Amino acid sequence: MEIIFSEKNATGIITLNRPKALNALNIEMAKEFSDKLQEWDLNDNIKRVLLVGEGNHFCAGGDVKSLFLTKDQNNHKKEFFKIEYKLNYLISQFKKEFLSIWNGVVMGGGVGLSIYGDHRLATDNTKFAMPETSIGFFPDVGGSYFLSNLPKNVGKYIGLTGKLLEVNDLMFLGLATNYFKFDNLQSLKENYVEKGIISEEKFEIDYNSEVIKNIDLINSLFKGDIFKIFDNLKNNQSDFAEKTFETLNKKCPMSLGISTKLINDAKGKSLKECLETEYQLSQNVVYRDDFDNGVNSVLVTKDHNPKWSPSKITEINIEEINKYFESRTEKLYL
């Protein structure tokens, strides 16, 4: 079974069980997850939920590889995102305590399964990222919602660059709610399952991390649309700006333009509104050649050398970006 449900001491335990695929979420897992969560929401014997990943990692994201491999079955692309985004919203509305253990890799769709719950525990080996601009897509699963709510344009920085965040930055930004030492993982699970207690461990934030020490610079560099951001980076003489500029030049240009508009427009919107926008956007972006090329290059052949079209930000204009935000299909009706 690719997802395992168990009940113990008033705790519903969900185990993502595809360790060889870093527990990537496929459509069948998402359906079962949704059904079980709705059942537990109504079950008075279940007081809380624990979400974990089998093996060394939490969840590397949604199974976008399957979308590429079934590219002729167009309905799969519609159904996959519909079920995944509805599950994200369902988790946000779940009335009982919801704890996720962010061990190892936590990316994309894995973030969407956990960030709307009450508690997210990070450890010293947690690797968090929203890496969608590397595959010709955009930070989804409500990414526009939680990234736009981070301070000082750091959400745009994370969403565009795919920056890998570790426990220090996750605690500083409030993306993780708690820290635990990896060695204490078993006792932490037992305390939560047996007593509903989350063991607190102290964490001292190191303000000298790359993200934290450059947060004001990030704020100024990532103001405006994608064209303004590129101008800001080119005109800034700092090593950080130069390094960030090099990083962005490897990402899908259209994804960068779309993602910037998405996050800018999400300010002040609800999660429901953001997911509705992302669903319509997904049904436009997922049929672009960039998506197939990106997924193939990064996840299938793994040559990490996709050919983007257009190949540069300067070859895009605002009207082209805007057209991807036009509605293509029926709403999610969350």
Look up 132 and say whether it is catalytic: yes
CA-based nearest residue to 254, from 281, 224, 217: 281
Active-site entry in 12, 53, 61, 62: 62
Look up 117 and say whether it is catalytic: no
d(CA 40, CA 49): 9
What residues contact residue 322 under an 8 Å CB cut-off, 6+ apart?
Answer: 261
What residues contact residue 115 under an 8 Å CB cut-off, 6+ apart?
Answer: 142, 146, 175
Active-site entry in 53, 104, 117, 132: 132
Active-site entry in 140, 169, 278, 292: 140
Chain centroid to Cα 195, Å, comes to 30
Look up 63 and say whether it is catalytic: no
Active-site entry in 12, 104, 109, 294: 109
Evaluate the omega torsion of the peptide bond into residue 19 and state whether it is cis, within 30 degrees of 0. Answer: no
Which residues are marked as active site? 62, 109, 132, 140
